[in-house]
Amino acid sequence: MTIQLNTDKNLTIHQEYEEKINTQLNEGLSRFSDLITRLEVHLSDENGSKDGLDDKRCLLEARITGKDPIAVTNLGNTYDLAITGALTKLKSALEKVAGKMKAH
């Protein structure tokens, strides 16, 4: 599974943080690694440099072998919270896809 990390102009990712994100996603989605060919991560700050609640956004798009991509989004006060929430949503969506694939 290839992980591609994208950010908006308001965010610069340091190497250590990128490795932390990759580890979190690889561990969280290890069950589905045979399904996912590529995972795109889009991190953005919804209101730029201004402060605000739940203004950090994480969009995860999973490319699945032989299926349409699945995309989920989550907002949080920090990027870590946004990523964790989006990962939970993506796992739920992948459970459904994996269940349907086993049923056929």
More confident residue, 10 or 73: 73
pLDDT of residue 12: 86
Sheet harboring 56-64: ordered strands across? 2-7, 36-45, 56-64, 70-76
Find out whether 29 and 36 touch, Cβ atoms under 8 Å. Answer: yes
- Which residues fall within 8 angstroms of residue 53, CB to CB, at 6 or more apart? 77
Flag whether pLDDT at 3 surpasses 80.
Answer: yes
Q: What is the pTM of this model?
A: 0.89
Instruction: Write down all domains in the chain, each with its CATH number in brackets.
Output: 2-103 (3.30.160.100)
What mean pLDDT comes out for the span 66-92? 95
pLDDT band at 46 (very low <50, low <70, confident <90, very high): confident
